[in-house]
Amino acid sequence: MFSRILIANRGEIALRVIRTAREMDIETVAVFSDWDARALHTRMAHIAVPLHGNLPSQSYLVTEKILAAAKQTGAEAIHPGYGFLSENANFARAVRDAGLVWIGPPPEAIEAMGDKIKSRRAMKAAGVPVVPGLVDPLDDAAAARKAAEGIGYPIALKAAAGGGGKGIRIVREAKEMESAFRTASGEAKSSFGDGRIYMERYLDKPRHIEVQLLFDHQGNGVHYGVRECSIQRRHQKLIEECPSVVIDDATRDKMGAVALKAGAAVGYQNAGTVEFLWSNGEFYFLEMNTRLQVEHPVTEMVTGTDLVREQIRVASGEKLGYGQDAVRWNGWAIEVRINAEDTANKFLPSTGTIHNLRMPGGPFVRLDLGMYRGMEVGVNYDPMLGKLIVWGRTRAEAIARMIRALQEMNVGGVRTSAPAALSVLEDARFKQGDFDTHFLESLNLDKENQELESIVAAAAAIFRHHKARRRALAPESGNREGWLDRSRRSLASHAQRSAEGPAPHQGGGA
């Protein structure tokens, strides 16, 4: 087992790895940009090494700086977290070439699954069901129109080297193709340095279901069941749960077996996730994420498995030590991502200083957070501040617990996505399990929150009016406990909450 590992990441995932490593009696090395000099992961790690520079391109994405930090501190292995270089095959190869252990899959598996065209070919060859479409990139919009005639509209144009919802456009009729192809290819080029586009049938009202896998270096693998990740905006997930309300035990086992087959086909090792689209009782391979997922805590809560511990164990050469029969599922878990986003303004990033922080507690409530009071939130990094996770004996209990926890939470100084999550959780359709990947759009949150902003602004104006009137009347009446003063206190409280971000139960920014 390792004695010291370096975490090539920041924020809540760096903290997540640090905590498990401490429990395993493994020392940790944190790296940080100038922006993150006061970040929590730099304070919780045994050693913190500056990378210098504020931007990711100057710090967390510079292979040479990270390898130098590992060499300087005597780290034996590198855990990449997620994002940044976690799915970069060249980085994984550089780590190995430097004589360090890569806590992740082989570079060859990253390459095979990172390219969407290559992965589709590999999955078709392995007998894994894929969404009907092409396995070759398209040259131009004309070729795309011709291919779409054979597949049938609607179709999805997707970046071959992409992920995270970038480089994707939905085309419902031929006249939209030229503009969509140009936009998708341009976005793919700017985001990934690769403008290749492929095509597949677009499934209306699909659900996003994924399977968590773990393989050791001896070829043994297990799956930990399914996660439902259909509540998303522009292909960015907001709420995840384990298990899924539409996947019964038999389907779960079938999907798990297919996912294991997919992993084995590329010689997979360590933790990974196979993502499927589920529609009308059928499921199709979407992609494989060759890293730990943001939503891994819901699987941990239901299976009682520390996935980071398992990652470190198998990377050190240990055998898995158990088979599929040993994996059990108990209860229901839900995760909400807490993003610095203004839900009243098209979910644009929200910036500022976190000056107030009230976190929820209670039984079976877990917080994976990277934020702290006094933290500056900018636009150079991912807007996710952390995650709130709850467990319940049933789905209904888990939903009720998450609603209560979100209502307790307050993040002052920036807007967050918590109100949007509350709107979803309180919706009768969600509670009944009647939703798909377009559910969040159906709530029309922008309009709802704009109306709320108008109410808050009106309340603040009334407060200012009463304050001015009270000052004018005070010398004569001396009544400091009359209705004007009570109004002042009530509206002042309302205005203060508005300044911090409307309270979660009001549906505005938290």
Q: Are residues 230 and 339 in the same domain?
A: yes
The stretch 464-477 carries a mean pLDDT of 59
Q: Please name the amino acid found at residue 201.
A: R
The confidence band for 470, taking pLDDT boundaries of 50, 70 and 90, is: low
Q: Three-state SS for 380?
A: coil
**In a 10 Å sphere around its CB, with 0-12 CB exposed, 13-18 middle and 19+ buried, how is residue 448 labelled?**
middle
461 pLDDT higher than 70 = no
* Mean pLDDT estimate for the chain: 89
Residues of the chain above pLDDT 70, percent: 86
Distance separating alpha carbons of residues 449 and 467, to the nearest angstrom = 27
Nearest-Å Rg of the Cα atoms of the chain is 24
Catalytic: which of 227, 291, 313, 337?
291
Instruction: Tell me the pairing of strands 27-32 and 4-7.
Output: parallel
**318 is in which domain, residue-wise?**
207-445
The pTM (predicted TM-score) of the whole model is 0.81
Instruction: Specify whether the CB–CB gap between 410 and 358 falls below 8 A.
Output: yes
Same-domain check for residues 290 and 423: yes
Domain count, the chain: 4
DSSP reduced 3-state for 49: strand
The pLDDT tens digits for 97-111 are 999 999 999 999 999
Q: What is the CATH number of the domain that holds 76?
A: 3.40.50.20
- Cβ-count burial 162-197 (b if 16+ within 10 Å, e if not): bbeebbbbebeeeeebeebbeebbebbbebbebbbb
Closest C-alpha among 160, 501, 232 to residue 355 = 501
- The tokens for 484 are 């004007």
Tell me the CA distances in angstroms from 44 to 28, 34, 445, one per residue in order: 9, 17, 37
The letter for the amino acid at 313 is R
Identify whether residues 331 and 391 lie together within a single domain.
yes
Q: What is the pLDDT of residue 188?
A: 87
Direct distance between the N- and C-terminal alpha carbons of the chain, in angstroms, rounded to an integer: 43
Do 194 and 211 fall within a single domain?
Answer: no
Asked if pLDDT for residue 29 goes beyond 90, the answer is: yes
pLDDT band at 466 (very low <50, low <70, confident <90, very high): low
What distance in Å separates the CA atoms of residue 384 and residue 191, rounded to the nearest whole number?
Answer: 19
pLDDT of residue 9: 98
pLDDT of residue 7: 98
Q: State how far the alpha carbon of 494 is from the alpha carbons of 234, 451, 463, 469, 501, in Å.
A: 32, 16, 9, 18, 10
Residue 29 falls inside a structural domain = yes
pLDDT number for residue 487: 40
Q: Is residue 288 part of a domain?
A: yes
Catalytic site includes residue 93:
no
The answer, yes or no, to whether residue 481 has pLDDT greater than 70, is no
How big is the CA angle at 444 (ends 439 and 445), to the nearest 5 degrees? 100
**pLDDT reported for residue 504:** 37
Q: Are 445 and 427 in contact (CB under 8 A)?
A: no
Strand-pairing partners, residue 27, are 4
Residue 476 in any domain: the answer is: yes
Give counts: helices (H), strands (E), the chain.
Answer: 17, 22
CATH code of the domain covering residue 212:
3.30.470.20
Residues near 461 by beta carbon (within 8 Å), at least 6 away in sequence:
none
Question: Please, are residues 459 and 491 in contact by the beta-carbon 8 Å criterion?
Answer: yes
Instruction: With respect to residue 117, please indicate whether it lies within any of the assigned structural domains.
Output: no
Instruction: Give the CA-trace dihedral at 494, 496, 497, 501, to 10 degrees.
Output: 130
The SS3 of residue 54 is: coil
DSSP calls for 85-121: TTT-HHHHHHHHHTT-EESS--HHHHHHHHSHHHHHH
Mean pLDDT score, 399-414: 97
Report d(CA 93, CA 108) in Å as an integer: 9
Are residue 251 and residue 147 in the same domain, yes or no?
Answer: no
Per residue in 424-458, pLDDT (tens digit) is: 999 999 999 999 999 998 887 755 555 555 565 56
The three-state secondary structure class of 235 is coil
**Does 493 share its domain with 365?**
no
Residue 112 lies in a domain: no
Last residue within a domain, chosen from 140, 175, 201: 201
| Arithmetic mean of pLDDT, 467-478 | 56
* 498: in domain: yes
Is residue 235 assigned to a domain? yes
